[in-house]
Amino acid sequence: HLPEDIAHKVRHDLHLTRDDMQRWARILGKKGWLGYGWPKEFGGPGWTAVQKHLFEEECALACTPRIVPFGPVMVAPVIMAYGTPAQHQRFLPGIASGEVWWSQGYSEPGSGSDLASVKTRAERVGDKYIVNGQKTWTTLGQYGEWIFCLVRTSNEGKPQTGISFLLIDMKSPGVTVRPIKLLDGSHEVNEVFFDNVEVPADQLIGEENKGWTYAKHLLSHERTNIADVNRAKRELERLKRIAKAEGVWEDQRFRDQIALLEIDVMALEMLVLRVLSAMKSGKNPLDIAGLLKIKGSEIQQRYSELMMLAAGPYSLPYVQEAMEAGYQGNFPGGELSNAPLAATYFNMRKTTIYGGSNEVQRNIVAQTVLG
């Protein structure tokens, strides 16, 4: 059921439009697979952790777009765990079908890895909240219809104790989205401004000032998902094809680098399987979620760098058109002709920053795992 034009773009790292991503989401939604990690009582398939891993592996091998995680992977589990029955009925069907596009409102100009310092303010006035502030690095926020936000509802006590979790309609008066251009020239992230935005109080998830608990629940899903080991396995094979096509495969030193990368990909997969085994036993191995994020993001950077080295002069042209809607590429000489390797390399520099920078993650791992 995967449209070939979409698979072609994924195979060659070309720009995916909103229509491309949402078409695939709707295809999965009709099968009940967009929320492939959901339990049956909420409309999901009720798969085990191993079944979910196998589904992700098959999707990666087939060159499907990665599921945009903000709805089905991030906010949906929070709504399921802490939302009211009315919120379940209101929000989950649109997420499961792929019809409603969600964005994430966590980071702020002064609050990245330290989310406890968020300053976006939500003041309760009667049966609504008045929201003022700014979020930044909002991935694909230009497409967002709804955004889940961490907002400050109290300044008393520790910073974590005054945070709440709000769902905000991005069509509300006072919401402004401004683009941020990335190093590769793409428009992937945004700033989102809230100027006296009125949010009905029934769009608060759980209890007021308990949002930090819900945020940690969500981030555990994000950091596990960010390992992206199945995509790494696919891209490793692509790297080998490029190296062989360009003759650098004959260089023992270059093969050594590929071998080291492959060993690390295998180790990452073992770590993922270790997490799956723990989950199958009813454990919640959040203490090593940070390790998945660290190793997965660094591997993404390494294979994009090795592709640049293997391609040699083919990697030098910066194909701006590859980041624009409608570009299909022209590949008469195989994978390398007009391949946006430079753009992909630049884009991958972000992976060790988002979802909590790797430096911060290492500190967390040291504190929680090593003691």
Question: What does the pLDDT average to over 112-122?
Answer: 86
pLDDT at 63: 94
- The residue written with tokens 């590429």 in the block is 329
Q: For 226-284, write each residue's pLDDT tens digit.
A: 788 999 999 999 999 989 988 999 999 999 999 999 999 999 999 988 888 877 777 76
pLDDT at 175: 99
The region of weakest confidence among 29-33, 62-66, 121-125, 186-190 is 186-190
pLDDT at 170: 98
Domain match, 203 and 258 both = no
Domain match, 353 and 232 both = yes
For the chain, the average pLDDT equals 89
pLDDT at 11: 86
First-to-final CA distance of the chain: 48
Beta bridge partners of 168: 147
Of 52, 73, 97, which residue sits at a domain end? 97
Q: Is the pLDDT of residue 335 over 60?
A: no
- Which among 188, 222, 235, 335 is annotated as catalytic? 222
Q: If residue 122 lies in a helix (H) or strand (E), which one and from where to where?
A: strand 121-125
Q: 163 lies in a domain?
A: yes
Domain match, 106 and 133 both = yes
Output the domain CATH number for residue 16: 1.10.540.10
Q: 215 lies in a domain?
A: no
Of the pLDDT bands very low, low, confident and very high (cuts 50, 70, 90), residue 3 is: very high
Output the domain CATH number for residue 290: 1.20.140.10
- Spell out the long-range contacts of 57-60 with Cβ–Cβ below 8 A and sequence spacing 24 or more: 57/230, 57/233, 59/230, 60/230, 60/231, 60/233, 60/234
Catalytic site includes residue 237: no
- The residue written with tokens 């409603």 in the block is 100
Domain match, 106 and 162 both = yes
pLDDT at 331: 45
Q: 219 lies in a domain?
A: no
Domain match, 39 and 158 both = no
Q: For 279-333, write each residue's pLDDT tens digit.
A: 777 776 666 777 888 999 999 999 999 999 998 877 776 666 655 555 555 544 4
pLDDT at 336: 57
Domain match, 238 and 200 both = no
Q: Which domain does 259 fall in, by range? A: 226-370
- Sign of the dihedral defined by the CA atoms of residues 312, 314, 320, 321, in that order: negative
Cα separations (Å) of 6 from 2, 43, 220? 7, 26, 29
Domain match, 344 and 262 both = yes
Q: 220 lies in a domain?
A: no
Q: For 356-365, write each residue's pLDDT tens digit.
A: 788 888 888 8
Please state the domain count of the chain. Answer: 3
Q: Is the pLDDT of residue 182 over 80?
A: yes
Q: 142 lies in a domain?
A: yes
pLDDT at 341: 83
Domain match, 91 and 116 both = no
Of the pLDDT bands very low, low, confident and very high (cuts 50, 70, 90), residue 132 is: very high
Q: For 15-33, write each residue's pLDDT tens digit.
A: 899 999 999 999 999 999 9
Domain match, 238 and 353 both = yes
Of the pLDDT bands very low, low, confident and very high (cuts 50, 70, 90), residue 339 is: low
Q: 213 lies in a domain?
A: no
Closest CA to 5 of 322, 320, 328, 235: 328
pLDDT at 157: 86
Of 208, 239, 263, which residue sits at a domain end? 208
Domain match, 81 and 201 both = no
pLDDT at 332: 40
Question: What does the pLDDT average to over 145-149?
Answer: 98
Question: What does the pLDDT average to over 151-166?
Answer: 93
For 24, residues 6+ apart whose C-beta sits below 8 A from its C-beta are: 2, 3, 6, 64, 65
Domain match, 236 and 346 both = yes
Question: What does the pLDDT average to over 120-127?
Answer: 98
The region of weakest confidence among 66-70, 98-102, 223-227, 339-343 is 223-227
Of 97, 112, 141, which residue sits at a domain end? 97
Domain match, 108 and 177 both = yes
Closest CA to 351 of 305, 278, 279, 296: 296
Question: What does the pLDDT average to over 158-181?
Answer: 96
pLDDT at 330: 52
The proportion of the chain whose per-residue pLDDT surpasses 90, expressed as a percent, equals: 63
Q: 10 lies in a domain?
A: yes
Q: 221 lies in a domain?
A: no
Exposed (0-12), middle (13-18) or buried (19+): which is 105, by Cβ within 10 Å? Answer: buried
